[in-house]
Every structure is written in structure tokens, then in C-alpha cells.
Amino acid sequence: MDRQGSDQDSVTLEDYSPVCVGQEADLKKLERKTAMVHNREVVVFYHKGEFHAMDNRCYHAGGPLHLGEIEDFNGQSCIVCPWHKYKITLATGEGLYQSIDPKNPAAVPEWCSKGVKQRIHVVTVKNGNVYVTLSDTSIAYDSDYYASEKYKQLLISKMLKQGSA
């Protein structure tokens, strides 16, 4: 798939307005919830007393992050993609992996960052409601492909083909 060549959908100032995704008490009980925020599918997590929001589709292959488990790696809370076990930090959207020096058989694996791969969004709580504000899309992240119109049209086309088979 051509992720790097995908065009960003046109964005307006309205796309950066906060959207209510639910009540604080409900989201704390659920611990996660998916929502559409200005035509973008996001997942909101409540973990260790904090809310986090990010694109719901994993940057690697579009895996549904709302179905993943949250685990701590290298002192950071991460969502683990259920498809390929990619680890993504809740706070920054960084992809983490373990690296080892193949020339040193006694080497201990070290946690390393792939850089920010997953778009995260701003979560605010006001009057018992939880709001998500999309982050600045002028900076591209790998997960953007799975929020693009190009990808959505590909999914629709695929579903139509399966339905007619």
C-alpha cells in the first residue's frame, strides 16, 4: 500500500473543534471507547487515571486498536495491536520495539523507539463530559493512511466485491 503517497484529506478549522465522545463516569467504567470525531475513527482509553485518544487503526496494517491489550513496556503504557503485536505508547504514539546486537550473543534486548507512528489526539474533561480534539494534521503520521478517504473507499470497494461474490 502506498501510505506515504496518500493525500491528506482537506481540513477546516471546524475539524479542530472538540467533540463530546461520552460521559466521564461511563468512559472510566468502560476503559475504552471508539468514536467518530469529524469523520475520523478514534479510540479513547482510560488507563491509570488518565484519558488518551488516538487513531483507532494501527499504523502498521490497520489493526483495530480498541481490541488490543494495554501493557507496560520500558515504563510506558502501550496499546498492543491485536493483529501483529505492535506496541504503541498511549502518551505519544511512538512505536516501540526490542533490539539486540546480533554480534553479541550475551546482549540483553533493549527497548527502542521507531518514532511517532500513531496520531494521538487531545482529550479534555469538562462538566463530566469527555471531549476529543483532533491533532494538527499538517504533520503526517503513518496512521493517517487508515483515516484517509482513499483507504475508506478501498474498504467500501472490498465490501461490495465480497457482497457480490
Query: What structural domains does the chain harbor?
Result: 19-164 (2.102.10.10)
Q: What is the pLDDT along the chain (165 residues), one digit of tens a residue?
A: 344 444 445 556 567 899 999 999 999 999 999 999 999 999 999 999 999 999 999 999 999 999 999 999 999 999 999 999 999 999 999 999 999 888 888 888 999 999 999 999 999 999 999 999 999 988 999 999 998 889 888 888 888 888 776
- Residue 151 near residue 157 (C-beta atoms within 8 A): no
Other residues' Cβ atoms within 10 Å of the Cβ of residue 144: 22
Q: Report residue 85: phi and psi, to 5°.
A: 65, 25
List, in order, residues 6 or more apart from 27 with CB less than 8 Å away: 21, 33, 44, 46, 51, 130
Residue 11's pLDDT is what?
56
- CA separation for the pair 39, 153 (Å, rounded): 13
Amino acid in the structure at residue 126:
K
Residue 76's pLDDT is what?
97
Residue 4's pLDDT is what?
43
Residue 10's pLDDT is what?
56
Place of cell 462538566: 127
Q: Report residue 96: phi and psi, to 5°.
A: -110, 150
Residue 3's pLDDT is what?
41
